[in-house]
Amino acid sequence: MKIPLESLPLTPEPTTIRCPNCGRPGERHHLTHSRLIRTECHHCDYLMITCGDTGNVIEAYSPGLYAHAM
């Protein structure tokens, strides 16, 4: 039986980190029951879910970055 990741409990306070994709503030959540770590950025839509035990990537999405003309 597959459990949707959205239904798993998160730690009370996410850790603020720098997004590895765009460098802006992102969040790291530790999913307590499944021992997963979810890193996400709401600025660039980056997502990476890894196993907290092995470090293996479970799911990842990293959109491309585009240079903005100034």
pLDDT tens readout for residues 14-68: 899 999 999 999 999 998 778 899 999 999 999 999 999 899 999 999 887 655 5
**Residue 58, both tokens:** 């479970």
Give the model's pLDDT for residue 33.
Answer: 77
Alpha-carbon Rg of the chain, whole angstroms? 13
The contacts found for 66-70 with CB under 8 angstroms, 24 or more apart, are: none
Residue 43: strand, helix, or coil:
coil
Residue 44 near residue 19 (C-beta atoms within 8 A): yes
Residue 70: pLDDT band (50, 70, 90) is: very low
